[in-house]
């Protein structure tokens, strides 16, 4: 089979640098082959596939309950939201009505997941730019969320708490109190994040005006999530196609228009606060009731195609299931947000310096296993 060779070409005075799969600041196993002229980036080609595990192929031989466990391992920082996506697709296909209690708990856990994902983003973004202390402060606070997950769901990062029809188990009796304590603590501490990084003049110089994406480019390339919202593209699935308990809460969709690294960062900072607002509206009103709907042990979806999007911490995750009536799906496709957000990296970094490439890559907040699936 004829393969075109690498498109990174060498002209005079250009040289090729490899930010290899093992690199402190590509977040995961991502290889960026950059062609530079001095300090200026001419061309960036991402090479992926180092962690391709064939998840979509594997799903064709698993049952619908087993697929949930694979989704944890795609975008592991939005594990709960990924699980929810598959569960919602299956429940929509079966036209099952999940109890209100389940919807509330799923929403609360999703928002907690979003907060801890953005905390990790803050920690690693600061570290990439050189403010190494940010890593410790961000992770210190994230530990509280992970402890809540561990107590209720049984796992810190790999949760697998959702199941088609509801939840695996009811929430722990301490859950509400711990979440309220966390919100109170975090509201008092989040100003540290702004004091340390947001207002810092060095940080602003490194991030304002870098890697600008216009709204038309964001729509054309399909960039969703905080990356798209920083360019003014209103793409929040929670607002446009509400699911679970999102139609019962009021929150703002954080939009900026400048589309540079700084505003992608600011969108995530503000989203953390919005998530806390959502949790506060729900945490005291969790209705009583069963935590799952009775499902058959062997789930078979009726023949047809089903699509459901959810808003993960990084963008729109779309689950497309094609079923032929058997207990295993015929085809499962995950439209992963990171896969789509990575594609315009070349377009975004042309003409900037190599230090900016690190900042741009960090602001996209990529999780490589989600790209490779």
**Residue ranges in contact with another protein by CB under 8 A:** 1, 3-4, 7, 15, 17, 24-25, 39, 48-49, 52, 54, 56-57, 92-93, 126-133, 135-137, 140, 196-197, 200, 202-203, 205-206, 219-223, 233-235, 240, 304-307, 309, 316, 318, 320, 322, 331, 333, 335, 339-340, 342-344, 347, 353-356, 358, 372
**Whole-angstrom distance, CA of residue 261 vs CA of residue 206:** 9
- Closest among 120, 356, 89 to 241, alpha carbons compared: 89
**Least distance CB 130 / another protein (angstroms):** 3
CB of 295 to another protein, least distance (A): 19
56 vs 170 by CB, closer to another protein: 56
Cβ 6 vs Cβ 32: under 8 Å: no
Give least dist CB 22 to another protein, A: 10
Q: Whole-number minimum distance, CB 146 to another protein, in Å?
A: 16
Residue among 156 and 353 whose Cβ is closer to another protein: 353
In whole angstroms, give the CA distance from residue 138 to residue 27.
16
Between residues 51 and 295, which has the closer beta carbon with respect to another protein? Answer: 51
Rounded Cα gap, residues 119 and 268, in angstroms: 9
- Helices and strands in the chain, H and E counts: 15, 8
Give, in degrees to the nearest 5, the angle at Cα 123 between 121 and 124: 70
Comparing CA positions, the residue from 126, 230, 144, 124 lying closest to residue 189 is 144
| Least distance to another protein, CB of residue 97, Å | 17
For another protein, the closer of residues 283 and 359 by Cβ is 359
Note whether 221 and 340 are within 8 A (CB): yes
* 132/169 with CB nearer another protein: 132
């Amino acid at each position: 089979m004829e393969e075109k060779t690498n498109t990174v070409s060498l002209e005079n005075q250009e040289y090729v640098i490899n930010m290899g799969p093992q690199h402190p600041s590509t977040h995961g196993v991502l290889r960026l082959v950059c062609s530079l002229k001095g300090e200026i980036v001419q061309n960036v080609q991402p090479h992926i596939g180092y962690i391709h595990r064939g998840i979509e192929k594997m799903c064709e031989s698993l049952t619908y309950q087993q697929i949930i466990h694979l989704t944890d391992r795609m975008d592991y920082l939005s594990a709960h939201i990924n699980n929810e996506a598959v569960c919602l697709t299956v429940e929509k296909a079966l036209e099952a009505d999940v109890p209100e209690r389940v919807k509330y708990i799923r929403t609360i856990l999703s928002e907690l997941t979003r907060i801890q994902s953005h905390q990790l983003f803050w920690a690693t973004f600061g570290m990439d730019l050189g403010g190494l202390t940010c890593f410790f402060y961000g992770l210190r606070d994230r530990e509280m969320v992970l402890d809540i997950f561990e107590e209720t769901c049984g796992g810190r990062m790999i949760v697998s708490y959702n199941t088609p029809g509801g939840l695996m188990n009811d929430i722990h009796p301490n859950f509400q109190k711990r979440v309220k304590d966390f919100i109170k603590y975090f509201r008092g501490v989040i100003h540290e994040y702004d004091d340390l990084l947001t207002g810092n003049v060095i940080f602003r110089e490194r991030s304002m005006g870098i890697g600008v994406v216009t709204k038309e480019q964001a729509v054309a390339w399909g960039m969703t999530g905080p990356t798209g919202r920083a360019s003014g593209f209103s793409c929040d699935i929670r607002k446009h196609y509400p699911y679970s308990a999102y139609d019962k809460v009021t929150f703002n969709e954080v939009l900026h228009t400048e589309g540079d690294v700084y505003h992608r960062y600011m969108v995530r900072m503000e989203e953390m606060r919005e998530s806390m607002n959502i949790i506060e509206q729900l945490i005291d009103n969790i209705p009583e009731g069963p935590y799952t709907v009775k499902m058959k042990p062997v789930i078979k979806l009726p023949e047809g195609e089903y699509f459901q999007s959810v808003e993960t911490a990084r963008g729109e995750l779309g689950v497309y299931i094609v079923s032929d009536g058997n207990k295993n799906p015929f085809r499962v496709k995950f439209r992963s947000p990171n896969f789509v957000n990575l594609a315009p990296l070349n377009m975004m970094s042309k003409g900037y310096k190599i230090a900016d490439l690190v900042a741009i890559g960090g602001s996209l907040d990529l999780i490589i296993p989600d790209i490779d699936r």
